[in-house]
Amino acid sequence: MKLSLPPLILHYSLALTLPLSSLSTPTPIPQQNYPLSLISEFPTPQTFENIAVQSTGNLLLTSTTSPTLFQVSPFSNNNNNNKSTPIAQIPETQGLLGIVELEENIFYIASSNITTNGSVPGSNNIWRVDLRSVTDNSVERGEVSLIANIPTAGTLNGMSRLSPYDSKTLLIADSINGQILTLNVKTGSYSVFINDPILHNTPSGLQVAVDGIHVHDEWLFFTNLNQGIFGRFPLSLTNDSVVGPAEVIVSNTPGDDFVVSGGGNRAWIAMNGHGMVVEVDILKRESRVVVQSGYLEAAAAVAVGRTRFDESSLYVASGGIVGNGSVEEGIVARIDLPYQM
């Protein structure tokens, strides 16, 4: 049986005729449904790719089918409910992927022109978006500048800062080449940070390898969608290097992007193409489905709220199934955890 879903149902699908049997399915695990609510639904873009949370609580969203950075307020009122604000426009690109904040309201975004065979050669860029002059209800847009073009990249994807005390170093996943790059945003210089088989693609399955990456304390966590792995590398933040082999935390979990809890003991993974979010107990190396919904069919990224009103809530960037069974609406959803973070 062939996939009847459009290419973005599975990230930026590289194989429109990929058989369902080639997608590894999470092992059956105890399921507990946490409360799920919709923040916003959008006819365009049809799906969101990544999400970041500003200190104000507003959400920033990227899409592989749009050069626009969108802002959404998760706090409903008569003025902003179900509205998105185009807050920045990235030139010379068709779509946006990873996003990370290095300084207050200064974000870095990966852009690429995605096709069914990967990215158009030479289209992988990293941009700086300065939102310091943009306020709620402001007509101003963020100031955009190009930091680096990375012609050797396959497809740039998830991103992370190296350290909470480092405002110049980005880590970037290359999902086609199966590498993690490091980029100095002050100079634009970049190099391969990790090239390890655990980050690579295998010959079978969807050719999206290392996907989400996030540093927490002295661990670099990652997903490999192709291999179905959620794992981590030990880091030395003293000399900015990997100091040991990767550890597999859970397998048979073909996840997209994710978020790690503040205490570093849990993670929540967006299961793009499976319509679910999986919670991982990092210490016990166990996982379970905590939300499953058609609204999460193209769930691609998860973020934690940053205000006292939503510090125990997760926000999911997704696309939802509507009517005819295809992904037709961009979705921003909230999951309320039954415990304090």
Q: What pLDDT score was predicted for residue 137? A: 65
User: What distances in angstroms separate CA 13 from CA 75, 198, 298, one per listed residue?
Assistant: 32, 21, 11
Q: What is the pLDDT of residues 101-148, one digit of tens each?
A: 999 999 999 999 998 778 999 999 999 999 999 877 666 789 999 999
Residues 6+ apart with CB under 8 A from 2: 17, 18, 19, 20
Q: What is the Cα–Cα distance from 186 to 169, expressed in whole angstroms?
A: 8
Contact 256, 270 (CB under 8 A): yes
Q: What is the pLDDT of residues 238-256, one digit of tens each?
A: 889 999 999 999 999 999 9
**Token representation of residue 55:** 């200190």
In this structure, the chain runs to a length of: 341
In terms of Cα–Cα distance, which of 200, 254, 246 is closest to 219? Answer: 246
Contact 88, 70 (CB under 8 A): no
Phi and psi angles of residue 225, each rounded to the nearest 5 degrees, phi first: -65, -40
Angle among Cα 274, 280, 282 to the nearest 5 degrees reads 150
Q: What pLDDT score was predicted for residue 65? A: 94
Q: Is the pLDDT of residue 292 over 70?
A: yes
Contact 40, 332 (CB under 8 A): yes
Q: What is the Cα–Cα distance from 244 to 290, expressed in whole angstroms?
A: 32
- pTM for the full predicted model: 0.90
Q: Is the pLDDT of residue 19 over 60?
A: no
Residue with structure tokens 């049997």?
Answer: 21
What residue type is assigned to position 1 of the chain? M
Q: What pLDDT score was predicted for residue 46? A: 84
Q: What pLDDT score was predicted for residue 322? A: 60
Q: What is the pLDDT of residues 217-241, one digit of tens each?
A: 999 999 999 999 999 999 998 889 9
Q: Is the pLDDT of residue 17 over 60?
A: no
**Secondary structure letter of residue 120 according to DSSP:** P
Q: What percent of the chain has pLDDT over 90?
A: 75
Residue with structure tokens 């107990």?
Answer: 281
Q: What is the Cα–Cα distance from 14 to 287, expressed in whole angstroms?
A: 27
**Domains located in the chain, CATH noted:** 7-336 (2.120.10.30)
